[in-house]
Structure 1
Amino acid sequence: MELEDFYNNAKCRNVKNTAGPQRHNYEEQARNCRGSRCLVQITVCLGIICLLLIAAIILQHFQVASKRGYLWGPDGLFMSTELKSWSDSRQYCRDRGADLVIINTEEKQRHISSLVKERVWIGLSDSENEGIMKWVDNSPLKQGFWLTGEPSNYGDIEDCIELNFNREKSGWSPLNSWNDDVCSVKKKGICEK
């Protein structure tokens, strides 16, 4: 806004509607003031919109922070950032409103295998009843994607299931990548909402 506009706005405050020879000049001044009032209203509205946008950005920041910086994918999957035992990995997922992933289709197995670059816990174990694999929702295993020779249940202590990313391992493929392991071994887990 230039200084001339500033002074014109100041003059608008003192516009008087009087009769006499200067009436025409006052009417023109009053018309100019109506335009500047409109400009003030637009400026106020834009200011309010800016404040609302700032509030929305701050709110979004706190919502992301409430998830503790963990990013859920559009498929509802999330890999933990911490190495934990199978049961601690499950609790980690549950603390975030999820559970360890259940893989019950070939398509889902392929998808998850494409995401992982390390050995990760999935939501399958036989820790409650030896030899009877159950998912974290207590549904029975119907289809497995085991590495050759697995599950080995070595010494009756390998009760929790991992997805093994080792593409160089003999017999590995996206559809042959599960391995049973000791539940206390620390690794990341895949959570699913």
Structure 2
Amino acid sequence: MLTLYSYWRSTTSYRVRVALNLKGLPYRTVPVDLVAGAQRAPDYVAQNPIKGVPTLLLEDGRALTQSLAIMAYLDDIAPDPALLPEDAFQRAQVLAAAQVIATDIHPINNLKVVSRLKTQHGLTADEGTEWMRHWIAEGLQAYQALLPTGPAFSFADVPLLCDLCLVPQLYNAHRWGVDMTPFARLLDIEQQALRLPAFDAARPENQPDAN
């Protein structure tokens, strides 16, 4: 069985949980308490040198890191349902939208960045929250501008890789109090997604380490 090292509120772990669920791949979850610093334990760092989550441990003991790479691997070993379209242009569109979340929003809003801004640069708690809101809103605006009208999800009537990135980021947007008024299209996608068992089971509040 696959083993997913995860933190309940980690949006990157959330993405991978949805992918595993959509593809019907059985896995067990091992919580990694990021707030307590468990990701810096030497035995964990040996598997994930970036000291983050998720880490996917394969049955043969090999480890994979980085959510997009893990989801690409899962798409290769369990191609149905596919997370990327076959058409080259559509595939690139989906990857571009996914990367708005994964490379533009997430890296400057994760725990270690905001913690360093507070401890090394004097950012207050309120300023930290405003930092989060600003960059999330700017990224969501860009994401929404990339989307066609019509599909139930971002680019199709089924969830694709970018939707697996979007829904966890929307969880963070709600958590940090982002004004969601401009993002009706994204909220519609979120509503559609959370009706699906694969997304619902992956919600942070449904994880074994939720508190």
Tell me the TM-score range normalised by the shorter chain: under 0.3
**Larger C-alpha radius of gyration, 1 or 2?**
1
Q: Scaled by the length of structure 1, what TM-score is found?
A: 0.24
The structure richer in helix per residue is 2
